[in-house]
């Protein structure tokens, strides 16, 4: 519990950013997919650039975690799920106006009905686990 | 402190979000990603003897604390940082959505779709229940979401994440341009 407290704190900060930047707004997602604003693209791209620079610095100077371990970033192997699953998630993203992070933040900010969307997303993950072997990867 | 109560511009919010990546790495070698939490919840609550859910989810429990933190963050922002307000989107988007039949523009989500009243209408079921299902199924099939692939994956220069992100966008464009206008009218 104590060991995990820092992640609760990191999540808290992330949740506040998601709300205050209006990333959790269905309208912002609509605007993004209609190419009518730079807002969401600016957020995602600048987050990538900052993350990229941070990771380059970590690798270049072989920085370690606070407890002294080597930092390891797992490699992602390509599989066709990246494509099929990606397309399916995209359809859902435009409908709900939320990726998984914003779902949690929407609930916290008082949209209690989104609990239903989250439960449905959990069900979707469960069904994927159940039918996984029959799907092309 | 007043500026905290204004909506944050992209050039503040984006870089702050990017800093979550090294923060989690330094804190304990954790890769930024949210959708895995849905898998851990399945493994915890309803593993049902499915091999995909048979793993030591307790080792990944940091992720559940992280998403619990996001819920708290949403609460703090809404309660103390003026997080609930109309969103100043492009007037063209507003005009188009009005034309398609949307009426409520007073908050972060349109109440005429996302409310308990709408839950048992066909439109509400599609947006909330079917939409959520696609998000949960799709992210796990794709092996990540906007955080795990688009931010963490691309920032660590992994090309499968670029592919996945392009597919997220294509799916979103197809829904927004070709399907959503009919669904809003339901």
What is the predicted pLDDT for the residue at A85? 98
Q: What are φ and ψ of residue A64, in 5° steps?
A: -115, 165
Residue B156 contacts residue A73 (beta carbons within 8 Å) = yes
pLDDT in tens, A67-126: 999 999 999 999 999 999 999 999 999 999 999 999 999 999 999 999 999 999 999 999
For the segment A40-66, the average pLDDT, to the nearest whole number, is 97
CA gap B108, B181 in Å, rounded: 19
Q: Give the best residue of B100, B136, B157, B184 to mutate against chain A (max A CB count within 10 A).
A: B136
Instruction: Using an 8 Å CB-CB cutoff, list chain A residues near B20.
Output: 10, 13-14
What is the predicted pLDDT for the residue at B54? 95
CA gap B103, B112 in Å, rounded: 7
CB pair distance less than 8 Å for B76 and A104: no
Q: Give the best residue of A3, A15, A35, A49 to mutate against chain B (max B CB count within 10 A).
A: A15
Whether A127 has its CB under 8 Å from any CB of chain B: the answer is yes
- The shortest C-alpha distance from A25 to chain B (Å) reads 5
Q: What is the pTM of this model?
A: 0.96
Residue B85's pLDDT band (cuts 50, 70, 90) = confident
For the segment B144-161, the average pLDDT, to the nearest whole number, is 96
DSSP B83: -
Q: Residue B114: which residues within 8 A CB-CB, separation 6 or more?
A: A26, A111, A113, A114, B124, B127, B128
DSSP B49: T
Closest CA to B123 of B79, B41, B182, B167: B182
CA gap A104, B71 in Å, rounded: 5
- What separation in angstroms does the CA of A45 have from each of A41, B4, B16, B58? 6, 22, 12, 33
For the segment B85-100, the average pLDDT, to the nearest whole number, is 94
pLDDT in tens, B20-69: 999 999 999 999 999 999 999 999 999 999 999 999 999 999 999 999 99
Measured in whole angstroms, how far is the alpha carbon of residue B163 from the centre of its chain?
A: 19
């Amino acid at each position: 519990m104590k060991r995990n407290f820092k992640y609760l704190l990191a999540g808290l900060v992330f949740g506040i950013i998601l709300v205050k930047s209006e990333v959790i707004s269905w309208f912002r997602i609509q605007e993004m997919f209609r190419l009518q604003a730079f807002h969401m693209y600016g957020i995602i791209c600048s987050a990538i650039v900052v993350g990229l620079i941070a990771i380059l610095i970590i690798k270049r100077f072989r920085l370690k975690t606070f407890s002294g371990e080597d930092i390891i970033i797992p490699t992602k192997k390509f599989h066709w799920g990246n494509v099929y699953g990606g397309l399916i998630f995209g359809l859902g993203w435009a409908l709900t106006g939320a990726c998984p992070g914003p779902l949690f933040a929407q609930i916290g900010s008082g949209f209690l009905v989104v609990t239903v969307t989250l439960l449905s997303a959990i069900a979707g993950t469960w069904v994927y686990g159940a039918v996984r072997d029959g799907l092309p990867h | 402190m007043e500026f905290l109560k204004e909506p944050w511009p992209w050039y503040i919010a984006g870089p702050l979000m990017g800093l979550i990546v090294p923060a989690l790495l330094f804190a304990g070698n954790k890769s930024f990603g949210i959708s895995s939490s849905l898998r851990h919840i399945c493994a915890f609550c309803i593993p049902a003897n499915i091999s995909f859910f048979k793993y030591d989810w307790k080792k990944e429990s940091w992720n559940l604390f992280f998403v619990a933190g996001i819920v708290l963050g949403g609460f703090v922002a809404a309660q103390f940082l003026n997080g609930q307000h109309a969103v100043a989107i492009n007037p063209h988007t507003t005009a188009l959505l009005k034309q398609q039949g949307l009426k409520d523009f007073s908050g972060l989500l349109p109440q005429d779709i996302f409310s308990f009243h709408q839950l048992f209408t066909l439109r509400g079921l599609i947006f909330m229940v079917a939409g959520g299902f696609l998000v949960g199924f799709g992210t796990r099939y794709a092996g990540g979401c906007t955080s795990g692939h688009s931010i963490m994956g691309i920032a660590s220069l992994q090309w499968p994440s670029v592919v996945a992100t392009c597919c997220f966008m294509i799916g979103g464009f197809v829904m927004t341009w070709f399907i959503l206008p009919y669904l809003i009218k339901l």
